[in-house]
Structures are given as structure tokens and as C-alpha cells.
Amino acid sequence: MGGSLGITTTNATSYAQVYQRSLTEPEAFWAEQAKQIPWIKAPTKILDKDQNDVWRWFADGELNSCYVALDQHVEQGRGDHIALIYDSPVTNTVAHYSYSEMRDWTARVAGGLQELGVTKGDVVIIYMPMVPETAVAMLACARIGAIHSVVFGGFAPRELAMRIDDSAPKVIMAASCGIEVDKVIAYQPLLNEAIEIAAHKPEHVVMLQRPQALATLQSGRDLDWQTWQQQAKPVDCVPVAATDPLYILYTSGTTGKPKGIVRDNGGHAVALRYSMQAIYNVGVGDVYWAASDVGWVVGHSYIVYGPLFAGCTTVLFEGKPVRTPDAGAFWRVLAEHKVKSFFVAPTAFRAMKKEDPDCKLLADYDISNLEYQFVAGERLDPPTYHWLKAHLDVPIIDHWWQTETGWSICANMAGIELLECKAGSCTLPAPGWDLRILDEAGQELGPNQEGAIVIKEPMPPSSFPTVWGDHGRYMDSYWSQYPGFYLTGDGGYRDEDGYVFVMGRTDDVMNVAGHRLSTGQIEEVVADHGAVAECAVIGIADQEKGQVPMGLLLLKDGVNIDAATLQAELVQLVRKSVGPIANFKTAIVVKRLPKTRSGKILRQVIRKIIDQQPYTVPSTIDDPLIIDELKETLIEHGLL
């Protein structure tokens, strides 16, 4: 089965042909896509292996990712087209930047970095919020062949220090503060503490002063961004090998040293350029918006690089789905900027649904330009899918990918052939991804059998070739369990039509009295209750059954229901939909769910708290105070 699993959707011929060719003739397929990129030296070795025996794409090609993103469009007469819209409700700012303006600005910042001694292969850490300068900093590094490592602004000092020591940056580019709704977070104290903790000391810090909280510059080390930028001379693009690193992006592990995912220049440019057309169906002049943060892979791929590679207008939004100023914030941006294709995590819509359950605020805005609504970052639960489908007259497309891959493993390919959407499914594998479902012994499973989701090598362009400075960890973490297959860490199944259902991380699988059940399966049922805005189901230790599921619930605003009645109703719903084997008996209402800043619920941390095991709160947590709130609620219910 695997990549050739039969697709029974009757109108799938076009997608099926493209997908099948990508697996049977991968070199020819990706060589064609590579022609969309303006190479400095076109590749002749399309697929090869490196010294670590890892498959690499376009090995002898040369290019520059900043040139692909900016200069080529200016040279082709599109310099006046808008490249980036900065929309910041927290500062009451909307600004537009053309491709020419972005190129000239980036060339000057790149020149400033060169004058600080940054050369090809050097690392620059970027510790900044959602401002245009962050995108410019990334592109300026790419322009001179430097490797950027963006660290989410406001990360805890110890976590930032670990990244400084691991990547050994020559320069850190930072901002004086970030703004979280109505709260100003000063970055410099965090940065100074991180540098003090770190063994490696950067030579310079370039500080963007924001008026909401000015930083005190340290003489000899710190430079004022504006003064430094004004004095710099613009520089041209530096050719780099397709296999040279473009960036390092650290995954936020809950324990131990974070993994530095490495992205190369060539495969990244080809895959992202392809994905903009094939998946999102956008091109030159279209407005594309990914409501994420540049600190995450979505921000790298689909705020900065992907849309600019394709000549789109990208939206950089410094705000939240609610409270900036209300749950209509996203509808306002879609309407005002005439967005064609929109991409956001489901958690944003759940927050909006909680505050505006009937989506009444949408009536205030004309979003008729919107053609596609994409979601990713976590599983799109069916209740949220149905809520979106009820209120938006466009396809609701779940797609699934990871920091490690840089673009979609599975998607409904809007630019090739829009297939039927199924609630709970991210549809079918994108071209190049030979996806299999394996059991613990490595045997391939049939339809509707849940197992580990893996990808057969070689993976398509943009997939990471190593972990920064630790190739052994790359092999151990991702390739050792099933030799020849990339371990995604996610579990799920394919149905009889080949549609993929990602049910969650494999460590979110419970063993209830010998029955293996995914928490996602039960969450679907719980979230479907009319009073529930969002939920997390956790498998907690039970002396008799090994594990039993427990639900943590957020209620929709304005809902008034007795807790005992709600729990009884949910128990019956799970019993009816999943069966008595689920043994679901406990559901408690909480004020907030602990999440990362990117919206992922910290299920492992919650489980360990309840099981009274040692746990580490990751630096990516949205608000550490939520843990204390949760513990108080658990104590009230006798669970701690």
C-alpha cells in the first residue's frame, strides 16, 4: 500500500496522477519544479547523498534565497507591487512595503551585518516580535549567506541561553519589547540575562528601539538599529550552495536540550514556491495571510519566504484572534486587505468561537475575496471544522506538517484539484510524501487501523537534513525506530479512500485496560457538546485499568450549565460514540488550558501534574500562571 494506496474519490485523477508521478519519478518531478526558481547555477544533480548518507536535493545548484524572495520580482518589473502589509492593532499601525522598498531595506541591513563581520556560514540569532524588521533581518541574513536562528521574542533567558550556546551566533538582532494585547514585555532584561548565563558571548547586539519600552544600550556591545542601519551600505546577494543552511529553528522540547532543525536553501525554495501554487492556489499579486508568528516554522515558511518566493503580498499581523480588539479581528484583516488564502491554527478559531459562538461579528465585514480557509498547527477537531463550514462559504482545508518538514505532508491540493473535505482528516499526502501507517513491529496497517505515521525515504525537498551540531541525535530521534522511514511522532490512520486522519502525538495514546485509544478520538466527542468551547482529554494513571481518560473543558461564553449535569451528558456521549471501553467518567471545567504560544495544549505536562510525576514547564508556554490556576482547580476536585 503506502504511497500507492488506492484513491477511490471519483474525481481524483489529476491529483492521483501528479502524486503518483512524484513517487515513481521523483527526480524528474522535482527537476520540473526547480525550473520555477531563478538559480545562479542551475542544478544537474537533482537527488544525491551527502557525507552523512542523507538524501539531498539539487546538490550542485547555487542560488540566493533573498534574491528569490525580493530581487527577482523587482528585476521583472514588479518592484511597485506590495510585498508586505504590516497590520498591528496593538500599536494601531497599518503599513505597506513594496518589493523595491523591501529589497533596498534588506540590502542595507545586510550591509550592516557584513560591516559587523558577519559572513557566509555565520549564525545570527533574531529575538524579535511581529514587526517588519524581523522579516528584513531574516532576509538580510539570507542575502549574505548567513544562517539565521529566530527565537520567539520573550522566550525565557535560560532557553535563549541554550540556543546561544548551541548555535554560537556572531550577532544577535533584538527588539526592546514585544506587545501581548495590552501588556508590554521588555526583551532586553531577558536577553541580558541569557547572554550572562551563556558560555558563548555574541560580539554585538543590534537593538530595535520600540517606543513602548526603550532599552538601555550596553556600551561596546549594543548598537541602535536605526543609527546602524542608516550608516550601512547596501550589498548584493551572495551565491550559496543549494545544500548550505538557510536557517536553524529550534523545536521546543519539554525536557533537555532543544533540537536545532536545519533547513537548506535549495530544497526549501523549490518546495515552498511549489506549495504556494499547488496547495494554496496563490501567485503573483494575490494576498496571502498566515496568522502565525515568525518564531515558528509557519512564520518562516508562510509569512516570510513562501509568499515572497511566489510574488504574493504577505500579511504580517501583530495581534491576536480576540481582544485586539474583539473576536472580529481576523474578519477585519481579511476584509481590509482582501486576503485570498488564509492560514491559521484551529486554536485561534476556538478562541473566537468561545467569545462569539454564533459568529455574529462576521456580519460586519465583507470577506468575499477569501477563497480558501486553511488550518494547521494541531488537529482540526470536527466541531471546529463544522463551525467554520457553517459560517464561511469557502473550502475549510486542514493540512498537516511539522517544523522538520517545512511544508505540508498532507493537504487538499487547492491548486491541483480540490477534493472532498472530510471532517477530522487532512486529506491526502502532498506530492513527494510516501506516507505509511505502521504497527509497533514495523508492519504496514490496512484502512482504519491506527498506528505510527511514517514517511519512506527519500523525503521531498525542504525536509531537514540534520540537527544542528548533532547528527547522531537526528538519526536516533527520527530514523532509528523504523529504518528507512522518517518517524513523524504522530499517530493516525487512513480510511478506505486513503484519507489521512492524524489523531495526535503517539505519546497521546492511552492504554485503557489493554485497549489502545487516542485522546483525539474522545476529544472529538467531548468538543461536540453544545456547551464546550474547547477541551483536552488526558490519559491519567489508574491502578486498575492502567490509564483512564479525563476531560478538561472550557465553556462557551454565556453558557450556564450545572457541572454534574454536563459531566453526565459527556459520559453518555463518549459511551455512545467510543464505547464503554473508553471508561470516560471525569470531566471538569477549567478557567484556561495550558498552551504553547503557538496554541498547542501541553497534554504531557497536564498528565504528569495529575499523575504527580516530575515535569518541566516548557519556555514556550503562553502564560506560566495557568499551571497554578490548573493545580488549584485539580485540588478543588480532589485530583491532587
Cis previous bond, 38, omega within 30? no
Q: Range with the lowest mean pLDDT among 194-198, 254-258, 583-587?
A: 254-258
Phi, psi at 636, each rounded to 5°: -60, -35
> Residues with Cβ < 8 Å from 22, sequence gap 6 or more?
29, 30, 431, 432, 460
Q: Range with the lowest mean pLDDT among 134-148, 182-196, 416-430, 514-528?
A: 514-528
DSSP H stretches of helix in 423-518? 471-478
Q: Does residue 17 surpass a pLDDT of 60?
A: yes
Using CB atoms within 10 Å of the CB of residue 432, give its burial: 0 to 12 exposed, 13 to 18 middle, 19+ buried.
buried
The predicted pLDDT at position 505 comes to 75
Q: Which residues of 185-197 are buried (b: 16+ CB within 10 A; e: fewer)?
A: ebbbebbbebbee
In this structure, the number of other CB atoms found within 10 A of the CB of residue 443 comes to 9
The predicted pLDDT at position 5 comes to 36
- The residue ranking higher by pLDDT, 510 or 602, is 602
In this structure, the number of other CB atoms found within 10 A of the CB of residue 277 comes to 17
The predicted pLDDT at position 545 comes to 75
Band of residue 6 on the pLDDT scale cut at 50, 70, 90: very low
End-to-end Cα spacing for the chain: 47
Share of the chain above pLDDT 70, in %: 96
How far apart, in Å, are the Cα atoms of 321 and each of 327, 522, 599? 6, 26, 12
Chain-centroid distance of CA 23 in Å reads 25
- CB 132 within 8 Å of CB 97: yes
If phi over 0 gives left and psi between -120 and 50 gives alpha, with beta otherwise, what is residue 594?
Answer: beta
Full set of structural domains in the chain with CATH: 519-636 (3.30.300.30)
The predicted pLDDT at position 1 comes to 31
- Region 114-129 average pLDDT: 98
Could you tell me the three cell numbers for 526?
467531548
Band of residue 507 on the pLDDT scale cut at 50, 70, 90: low
Q: Residues 531-575: pLDDT tens digits?
A: 999 999 999 988 777 789 999 999 999 898 999 999 999 999 988
CA nearest neighbour of 517 among 553, 485, 545, 481? 545
Could you tell me the three cell numbers for 3?
504511497
DSSP H or E run through 469 = none
Band of residue 521 on the pLDDT scale cut at 50, 70, 90: confident
Assign 347 to helix, strand or coil. Answer: helix
The predicted pLDDT at position 256 comes to 55
- Region 369-398 average pLDDT: 93
- Written in H, E and C, the secondary structure of 240-297 is EECCCEEEEEECCCCCCCCCEEEEEHHHHHHHHHHHHHHCCCCCCCCEEEECCCCCCH
DSSP H or E run through 125 = strand 123-127
- CB 191 within 8 Å of CB 174: yes
If phi over 0 gives left and psi between -120 and 50 gives alpha, with beta otherwise, what is residue 124?
Answer: beta
CA nearest neighbour of 630 among 598, 600, 595? 595
Cell numbers 456547551 label which residue? Answer: 531
Q: Does residue 255 surpass a pLDDT of 70?
A: no
Can you tell me the distance from the alpha carbon of 505 to that of 518, in angstroms, rounded to the nearest whole number?
9
Cell numbers 467518567 label which residue? Answer: 585
Strands 485-494 and 500-505, how do they pair? antiparallel
The predicted pLDDT at position 397 comes to 97
Assign 372 to helix, strand or coil. Answer: strand
Could you tell me the three cell numbers for 232?
550601512
Q: Range with the lowest mean pLDDT among 157-161, 398-402, 419-423, 436-440?
A: 157-161
Can you tell me the distance from the alpha carbon of 206 to that of 209, in angstroms, rounded to the nearest whole number?
10
- Region 481-487 average pLDDT: 96
Backbone CA torsion sign across 445, 478, 488, 414: negative
The predicted pLDDT at position 580 comes to 77
Chain-centroid distance of CA 373 in Å reads 16
- CB 599 within 8 Å of CB 378: yes
Could you tell me the three cell numbers for 606?
497536564
Band of residue 518 on the pLDDT scale cut at 50, 70, 90: confident
In this structure, the number of other CB atoms found within 10 A of the CB of residue 219 comes to 5
> Residues with Cβ < 8 Å from 249, sequence gap 6 or more?
149, 150, 260, 261, 263, 297, 300, 403
Band of residue 513 on the pLDDT scale cut at 50, 70, 90: low
Backbone CA torsion sign across 574, 578, 583, 587: negative
pTM comes to 0.85
Q: Residues 126-156: pLDDT tens digits?
A: 999 999 999 999 999 999 999 999 998 887 7
Can you tell me the distance from the alpha carbon of 520 to that of 353, in angstroms, rounded to the nearest whole number?
19
The predicted pLDDT at position 7 comes to 36
Q: Range with the lowest mean pLDDT among 130-144, 221-235, 254-268, 580-594?
A: 254-268
Q: Range with the lowest mean pLDDT among 5-19, 66-80, 106-120?
A: 5-19
CA nearest neighbour of 301 among 332, 279, 329, 333? 279
Q: Does residue 10 surpass a pLDDT of 50?
A: no
Name the DSSP class of 120: T
- Region 90-95 average pLDDT: 98
Q: Residues 277-286: pLDDT tens digits?
A: 999 999 999 9
Can you tell me the distance from the alpha carbon of 192 to that of 216, in angstroms, rounded to the nearest whole number?
11
The predicted pLDDT at position 13 comes to 56
- Region 41-48 average pLDDT: 98
For 133-202, give the DSSP string.
HHHHHHHHHHHTT-EEEE--TT--HHHHHHHHHHH--SEEEEESEEEETTEEEE-HHHHHHHHHH-SS--
The predicted pLDDT at position 541 comes to 87
Q: Residues 455-475: pLDDT tens digits?
A: 999 999 999 999 999 999 999
Assign 342 to helix, strand or coil. Answer: strand
Cis previous bond, 325, omega within 30? yes
Cell numbers 482545508 label which residue? Answer: 397
Cell numbers 561596546 label which residue? Answer: 220
Q: Residues 199-242: pLDDT tens digits?
A: 999 999 999 999 999 999 999 999 999 999 999 999 999 999 99
The predicted pLDDT at position 141 comes to 98
Band of residue 515 on the pLDDT scale cut at 50, 70, 90: low
In this structure, the number of other CB atoms found within 10 A of the CB of residue 267 comes to 28
Share of the chain above pLDDT 90, in %: 77
Q: How many residues does the chain have?
A: 640
Q: Does residue 12 surpass a pLDDT of 50?
A: no
CA nearest neighbour of 175 among 161, 191, 163? 191
Q: Which amino acid is at 380?
A: L
- CB 493 within 8 Å of CB 450: yes
Strands 485-494 and 451-456, how do they pair? antiparallel
Strand partners, 175: 208
The predicted pLDDT at position 514 comes to 59
How far apart, in Å, are the Cα atoms of 4 and each of 21, 285, 426, 595, 610? 10, 36, 18, 37, 43
How much is the mean pLDDT over the chain? 92
The predicted pLDDT at position 353 comes to 93
Radius of gyration of the chain (CA): 24
Phi, psi at 87, each rounded to 5°: -120, 110
